[in-house]
Amino acid sequence: MANRNLAHRDRNPSSPNAAEMGGAGYQEASSPPNNTMVSRFSRILDSFKTHLSQEDVDRFKVATFNDLKSAVRDIQTEQAGRKSLRNLNKIRPYLDGLEQYAAVIEVFVNSKPDILAFIWGPIKFCLKIASNFLEAFDALLDAYKKIGDALPIFSAINDLFSSHSHVQQLLVNLYEDILDFHGRAVRFFRQKAWKITMKLAFRTFRSMFEDVLKNLERSKDLLYRSADIASFREAQDSRALFKQQFDAQEERERRDRKSTVLEWLSHESCERFHEELQEKRKGFPNTARWIFQETAYKEWLSGTRARDQPFWISGIPGAGKTVLFSSIVDEIRSNSPKATVAFFYCKYNNVLRNSYQEIVKSLIAQLLYNDDDCLRYLYDKAVTSRERHPSTRSVLEDLIVTLAQLHRNLFIGIDGVDECEPSERRCILSLVHNLLKLSDTGLDLKVFLASCTEKDIEESLQPSTHLALKPHHLDSDIRSYIDIRSIELGEAFSFNEERVHEVACKVAGRPKGMFLLARLIMDNLLEQETWEDVNKELGTGILHRRIDEAYGRMLLRIRKHENAIPRVKNILGMMTVAKRPLWLHEIQGALSIRLDDKSIDLEHRKIRKHLKAICGSIVEVHEYDSVELIHHTAKTFLEQTHSEQFINADIANRNMATLCMSYLTFDCIALEFNNPEYLKRVKKGEYAFLEYSICYSIQHMRFFRSAVNEVSEEIHFLMKLSHDVLDLHSKVLLSGDTPKNGRYIATADQEATWKLLDHVQESFEAAHTIDNDSDQLGFPKPKLYRLLLHIRGLVEAAREESTGLSTPITEAY
């Protein structure tokens, strides 16, 4: 039965009532306040206030003990009416102790009544919020009981506070600990979704306050022992050391939890790509700013339109939507520093950036950063999950919807939704609608998207705050871009100012709202070798009006160098069919392989020129040496009749599958793990293409199988290669280190072989991240993955030994 007489203040039947207390400690109540003590209390209170909202500060500063008692009686009445009365008697020691403590410190702070007010206000706030959620209310009462038990019985030791000045510091320490407890409790119940974090399995509510309890118990012990000044000084030093150690331990545990969560998510980050876009915009500072003056954008941002509508930018391919999208991300970050902005850039033909699963995992990871509540929630999910990595749609959606509720002000952006397959788009757009429904609960959540105007996207995003890009939106930006690039052209060819202006004017009439076309034209002009060549390209009959014409001019330049055409086709073919962007060292590694004699010679076969000097501006080498086609429209062009089918996708896929599978049968791959020959071959760059081959060879096999007749000669050849790979790496699903001790896997049945290859690929995908700590698959890590780990370790060791700026190690890996 709950206690109804919470105003009763005695914790010891033999102790006097606080209102009737005599003794030296209370006889000084009318004496002038101790300015030093007031200053100490005020500093702690000021620090406490910095973690509160102004609303909470205003509420707490006028609170009294009588207000708190009244609130407790109201809670008891409400719970009795709901037949959910809780044991409020638990907090009697806590309230008794705090009242006695308040009576003691009032001697020192009677000129600052808000010092006492902030003892009562947070208790009232937390009790009222938690009272409607019984699990939370019980946990809060338990925490208050523990704190109450740790408080000294002040009535028994009141003489100490006036007669021992060094003991007065303990009153300050106690105040700091009490407010520390209040601060954590208030922040917990101020979360948008505290009911979610209350249910976490790995962390109880009480565990959030263990350090406070220990500090209180130390102070209590010192007071009861009436310790001398030396003991108090030692205790103060111990208190500071304990705080330092506790904070360090908390930080270590936080880092460990974060590492576990990130390993579980195994997500693709778009931050590096975003930084590249930022750098590009810096070169053209007057661009991508106009959108912030558009009525549609301002209405969406201010919420004057329906809160459950996304902001959608649509436009033709090459209109510059991605750059505009990146500008919106930065604008929101700059103007709303307290808001969380999570974003993703989809990428056509990149398995890491064109699926619902990868998009959601990346968004989840961004919601995690610098948010302890999200970290605790995700850690709980990670350690209790049955999945090595979250992959099912329902699990991922539940995660992100829950995490969204833990944020007060959240923006989520997705660029290039049209670059995902229709089935993936349906999942993405469904998620957008489900997230926006949260706005009905009062959550300040806004979604912004950028894409081409595909029918399914347009239908799904109705209604939306829609901005359809037209030439008049982009003309000014495109002209600014062309002006700056024309100056660059003038510097390269020593044009005078008038000529630079003429070039800019002539080019500016062509793009018609296509930023990509403006870039392709200017790139093409800057690739010319003579002034005469530039003038020829600027001729009326040659200067491009369409993107495919610009690509055609690039291929024309490539075809002028007949000897280089096979190599360029090889490179562009690999880039066109690659399952993710290739790294420059992977391209070099692939080019160094000869299948006819099973040789690898990076030193003599690597290309010495910059990749753009060979392939032209149709390729883009990013800051960290990943290589992609300049735009997804380039892939389409290379495979179409406009380019005389410069790249045949089926042949390119067959070549890639053959290259990957053949490479995995080479002698350098078949060595035993303890063979010192590995290190020699690492230093020669023979494993530059290893990671891609291991991770994607079977995917290329699958794709080629679906594109050709299963009785074709090519399929039979690839089947034989598959047998060779499986035979050589016969322990691919076993735990041994050497092939010779393993189970022999061989079959003449193609269907059985495909099933086995699929099984191997599934084991690869289950591992997903390749690191030394990934040993929780439920079955041994595939041997080829373990080989890759082994090679990575050797590469890192060789890098540490390498002192030159350019060595086979730095170039090959």
Q: Which residues lie below 8 Å from residue 419, measured CB to CB, with a gap of 6+?
A: 346, 347, 348, 354, 451, 632
Pairing of strands 409-415, 444-451: parallel
Q: Are 674 and 589 part of one and the same domain?
A: no
- CA 273, CA 282: separation in Å to the nearest integer? 14
In total, how many domains does the chain have? 5
Positive or negative CA dihedral for 675, 680, 682, 685?
A: negative
Q: Are 701 and 729 part of one and the same domain?
A: yes
Which DSSP string corresponds to 167-186?
GHHHHHHHHHHHHHHHHHHH
pLDDT digits (tens, 9 = 90+) for 635-649: 999 998 777 889 999
Containing 314, the helix (H) or strand (E) segment is strand 311-314
254 belongs to a structural domain: no
Q: Are 702 and 658 part of one and the same domain?
A: yes
Q: Are 601 and 740 part of one and the same domain?
A: no
Beta-carbon count within 10 A of 233 CB = 13
Per-residue pLDDT, 17: 37
Cβ atoms 77, 130 nearer than 8 A: no
Per-residue pLDDT, 205: 62
Give the pLDDT band (50/70/90) at residue 354. very high
Q: Are 24 and 165 part of one and the same domain?
A: yes
Per-residue pLDDT, 29: 36
Question: What is the value of pTM for the model shown?
Answer: 0.77
Q: Are 281 and 299 part of one and the same domain?
A: yes
Enter the DSSP assignment of 30.
Answer: G
Identity of residue 691: E
Pairing of strands 444-451, 582-583: unpaired
235 belongs to a structural domain: no
Domain range spanning residue 453? 271-469
266 belongs to a structural domain: no
**Count helices and strands in the chain by DSSP H and E runs:** 37, 10
Give the pLDDT band (50/70/90) at residue 231. low
Average the pLDDT over each of 303-307, 453-457, 474-478 and give the range with the smallest value: 303-307
Cβ atoms 364, 265 nearer than 8 A: yes
442 belongs to a structural domain: yes
| Mean pLDDT, residues 71-96 | 81
256 belongs to a structural domain: no
pLDDT digits (tens, 9 = 90+) for 658-700: 999 999 989 998 888 788 899 999 999 999 999 999 889 988 9
2 belongs to a structural domain: no
Q: Are 571 and 662 part of one and the same domain?
A: no
Q: Are 308 and 400 part of one and the same domain?
A: yes
Structure tokens of 784?
């080829």
* β-strand partners of 326: none
Q: Which residues lie below 8 Å from residue 744, measured CB to CB, with a gap of 6+?
A: 727, 730
What value, to the nearest 5°, has the Cα angle with vertex 406 and ends 401 and 410?
Answer: 80
| Mean pLDDT, residues 758-784 | 57
The SS3 call for residue 508 is: helix
Whole-number mean pLDDT of the chain?
A: 83
Residue 554 has pLDDT above 70, yes or no: yes
Q: Are 119 and 158 part of one and the same domain?
A: yes
Q: Are 316 and 357 part of one and the same domain?
A: yes
- How far CA 373 is from CA of 31, 209, 246, 368, 568, in Å, comes to 46, 15, 19, 8, 51
Q: Are 319 and 404 part of one and the same domain?
A: yes
- CA 470, CA 298: separation in Å to the nearest integer? 18
The SS3 call for residue 524 is: helix
